[in-house]
Amino acid sequence: MRASPWLIVVLGVLGCQTTEVSTNDGRALPPEPKAVPVPPANVTVDAMTLLVGQRPIDVDGDGYPDRIEAAVALFSEDFAAASLRAKGAFTFELVPRGANQDPIARWVVASEDPRLQPVDALYGPAWQIALDLREVADPVRPLSWVNLRGSFQPSQGSLVKTSEEPRLIQIGRGS
């Protein structure tokens, strides 16, 4: 007696059962992501992170770097689930490395300014910005290392500064 092909397929399908789903290296799949909770209405911004691109870009082709790529995010110690959006003004300063901390360049940008591009990062909402040295200072200078520091003044609340760890970039060019 010969089994019909349909009977073989049906028995084959009924005989297979997936008991565990894993990745190709045998580890279990990660849990399903959960939605980030909504921050309370009265949360205050008290910390910020400033990330700086590796090297400034020479936009106009004169050999001197003049655009600095940066990203900034705001946080609250009372709401550690994700970064936040808040109204206010960001200040970015380019300061020389060493004892003299007088700014070479300074940008003040409102949180609604179109130069600040809102983005969604892994840690929550953030902004990206391209700081153009030509807008606030002469980019034609000798080769030097500088630090980009930032602060945020919320519409309501006290000034928030980035940490003092250096965000070193190189500007100018050698002769």
CATH fold for the domain made of 47-171: Immunoglobulin-like (2.60.40)
Domain range summary for the chain, segments of one domain joined by +:
47-171
Cβ atoms of 56 and 172 closer than 8 Å = no
| Nearest CA-CA partner of 169 in 65, 84, 75 | 65
* Rg of the chain over all Cα atoms, to the nearest angstrom: 26
Q: Which two tokens stand for residue 13?
A: 């399908």
Kindly report the pTM of this predicted structure.
0.77
pLDDT digits over 74-122, tens only? Answer: 999 888 888 999 999 999 999 998 777 889 999 999 999 999 999 998 8
d(C-alpha 86, C-alpha 157), whole Å? 11
